[in-house]
Structure 1
Amino acid sequence: MMHSPLRYPGGKSDFLAVAAEIFQLSGFTGLHVVEPYAGSAAIALGLLDFGLTPSVLLLERDPLLFGFWHSVFCRPEELIARFQELPITLETWHSLQHYLKVSNPMSQDLVALGLAGLFFNRTNFSGILNAGPIGGKQQSSVYDISCRTNKDDIIVRILTLSTLASKVDVQFGDAIALMAKMANRSDCFFYLDPPYFKKGESLYRHFYRLGQHKELANTLSTVEFKWLLSYDDHHVIEFLYEAFNVRRCNFQYSARSYSKRDELLISNFELPNGSKRDLKTARRQRHRTAFFEKSTPHAR
């Protein structure tokens, strides 16, 4: 299984298998997948890695994360070369702070922007881009700023993901605007993981106010494409989506603490009930079959 190079606030370590199961059992295999709140992009890229979708569109509103994903799929060698040379120190943390003020990534060197995004994600508390550094600014903790940055492992992850470049489109922009633009598409499946309702302001640089949460719900009520939405468990969200299918699930979280908490899964299609498939085994079998097909000479 491919792993995202990014740590991400609210990341659910066991959700990919659930999403893949829902995607398959609902008969969506073969649809193009759109993840308009890309973040770590783990779900869309996981579905692509499993061979369940032919292509993925990642949309990201945060300039640093957009720069990172653009670099992974368009300029991976340059990103890796710069990352290898980058000191993982408090001095570097201070020197890159100006990138947090960038609002228009198109006016910047996207690799430099993406490198800053990767650096802050790996060195800040819980992967939050505008948080403080691990170990504090005095670096007095037993865990220093570099403790979550295994360069060799991260580089392998970037290289592995870059092999999917021909199947991944990375764009910068607003998620709700993209959904409105693609509202009549029936050949796409959207997985949405918007900013948390309760703690969004403390976790994300681009969070939603109540009005934007309402706008998202209103937009999703008008689209033709199938969508799956994950939200933190809150009665306001249940109210906004009372006309849709809502299921409460318990996931392993990796933000702030490793704990299990409830989250709402919401969809505009009936969520299936079924036993989980061993997707890792299925993926290995596909790769094994493809290998032997390539290795066995065809009869002429």
Structure 2
Amino acid sequence: MKLNTPLRYPGGKNKLSGFIKLIFEQNNLLDGHYVELYAGGAGIAINLLTRGYASCIHLNDANPAIYAFWHSVINQPEAFCKAIQDVEITMKEWQRQKAILDSPAGHSLLEVGFSIFFLNRINRLGILWGGSADGVNQDCHWKLDARFDKVDLIRRIEWIALYRSQIHLYNQNAADFIKTVLPVLPGKTLIHIDHPSFVKGRRLYENHNLHNDHVSIAELVKEHITQHWIVSCDNNPEIIEMYKGYPTTICDFNHNVRHHSKDSEVMFFSKKLIIPSLKNPLNLKSA
């Protein structure tokens, strides 16, 4: 059964699952740990776990709403699925959920987690902090429930919940996570640092200080991480300079759903990691 992550994220990084699986196979990482410092939709992590490549996954996201979503899926899957079943897909409900996400204080983790999930599924491009429903009002051909198949979404949540004992969840900034969590993880671990978009970050994500984040994380990755690691981010000259001397590969991802544009991205690898010999890591299909 093919299973997609419940959250929609621009870029479709889950397309790399097949490539990451090859890395697991070729580097004796099978049944090891897999870490995502910017988990977001965690598509690759969920694929590796449910397909038996990783024995456990570590999901970290500094955004408290993303953390609330995954906390709810792991700890309250029945209540989350009931919320999916009961919710009405209307603009009035969109406004109510937007208000929760904008002012989470006074709301439970379940309520905040569901609000970001609801908006992510309803908003046209999956963008979470837009001022409107991303074209819903402007495009009469776009239906609010176009990406809210309740049966399918509940199936995804229930499937992930079966593996909840193997999912470790964190709500730390990436630098603190590298310093405090990674040192206690086993050597048989692959760490994936998939940075938010350097160029389009202001439109897609809350974190506006992306350049400084890249600089500080690059220094920590090179100096403090002892396990195998992968860093993926925009193919930007400034970022490439930060990882000069490390193995590199380039691939393209679709980021703009409406206009079908492609953005070139770069992946850097720890020096001892065996990298599958592929012209394009996206060419591998993954179950």
TM-score norm. by structure 1 comes to 0.84
Distance 2:227 2:104 in 1: 30
Distance 2:284 2:142 in 1: 38
Larger radius of gyration: 1
Which residue number corresponds to residue 289 of structure 1? none
Distance 1:179 1:273 in 2: 26
Which residue number corresponds to residue 291 of structure 1? none
Distance 2:147 2:240 in 1: 36
Q: 2:246 matched to 1:247?
A: no
AA paired with 2:84? F
CA deviations over 1:74-97 (Å, ceiling 9, x no partner): 110001111211111111111122
Partner SS, residue 54 of structure 2: coil
Judged with a 3 Å threshold, the aligned counterparts in structure 2 of structure 1 residues 255 and 175 are, in CA distance, closer, same or farther, namely farther
Name whichever of 93-102 and 122-131 sits farther off. Answer: 93-102
Shift of 1:9: 2.0
**Match of residue 267, structure 2, among 265, 268, 290:** 265
Alpha carbons 1:198, 1:232 under 8 Å: kept: yes
Which residue number corresponds to residue 41 of structure 2? 40
Provide the identity percentage. 27
Q: Structure 2: 5+ residue runs without aligned partners?
A: none
Alignment map for 1:89-104 (pairs within 5 Å): 89-102=90-103
Alpha carbons 2:12, 2:253 under 8 Å: kept: no
Distance 2:265 2:122 in 1: 27
Judged with a 3 Å threshold, the aligned counterparts in structure 2 of structure 1 residues 60 and 38 are, in CA distance, closer, same or farther, namely same
AA paired with 1:264? V
Alignment map for 1:218-229 (pairs within 5 Å): 218-222=219-223, 223-229=225-231
AA paired with 2:240? E
CA deviations over 1:211-266 (Å, ceiling 9, x no partner): 11100101101121211111111111100111322111234557555454421111
AA paired with 1:243? G
Q: Structure 1: 5+ residue runs without aligned partners?
A: 281-300
Shift of 1:101: 3.1
Which residue number corresponds to residue 54 of structure 2? 53
Alpha carbons 1:58, 1:169 under 8 Å: kept: yes
Judged with a 3 Å threshold, the aligned counterparts in structure 2 of structure 1 residues 182 and 115 are, in CA distance, closer, same or farther, namely closer
Shift of 1:278: 7.3
Partner SS, residue 41 of structure 2: coil
Shift of 1:120: 0.6
Which residue number corresponds to residue 81 of structure 2? 80
Alpha carbons 2:65, 2:101 under 8 Å: kept: yes
Which residue number corresponds to residue 127 of structure 2? 128
Name whichever of 55-64 and 9-18 sits farther off. Answer: 9-18
CA deviations over 1:23-56 (Å, ceiling 9, x no partner): 2212222321111101110111111122111101
TM-score norm. by structure 2 comes to 0.88
Distance 1:129 1:233 in 2: 24
Judged with a 3 Å threshold, the aligned counterparts in structure 2 of structure 1 residues 75 and 46 are, in CA distance, closer, same or farther, namely same
Alpha carbons 1:63, 1:103 under 8 Å: kept: no
AA paired with 2:96? S
Partner SS, residue 205 of structure 1: coil
Which residue number corresponds to residue 287 of structure 1? none
Judged with a 3 Å threshold, the aligned counterparts in structure 2 of structure 1 residues 180 and 203 are, in CA distance, closer, same or farther, namely same
Q: State the Cα RMSD in Å.
A: 2.3
Distance 1:36 1:135 in 2: 31
Shift of 1:150: 1.2
Judged with a 3 Å threshold, the aligned counterparts in structure 2 of structure 1 residues 255 and 36 are, in CA distance, closer, same or farther, namely farther
Judged with a 3 Å threshold, the aligned counterparts in structure 2 of structure 1 residues 277 and 101 are, in CA distance, closer, same or farther, namely closer
Alpha carbons 1:231, 1:265 under 8 Å: kept: yes
Shift of 1:68: 1.1
Partner SS, residue 227 of structure 1: strand
Alpha carbons 1:139, 1:145 under 8 Å: kept: no
Judged with a 3 Å threshold, the aligned counterparts in structure 2 of structure 1 residues 217 and 170 are, in CA distance, closer, same or farther, namely same
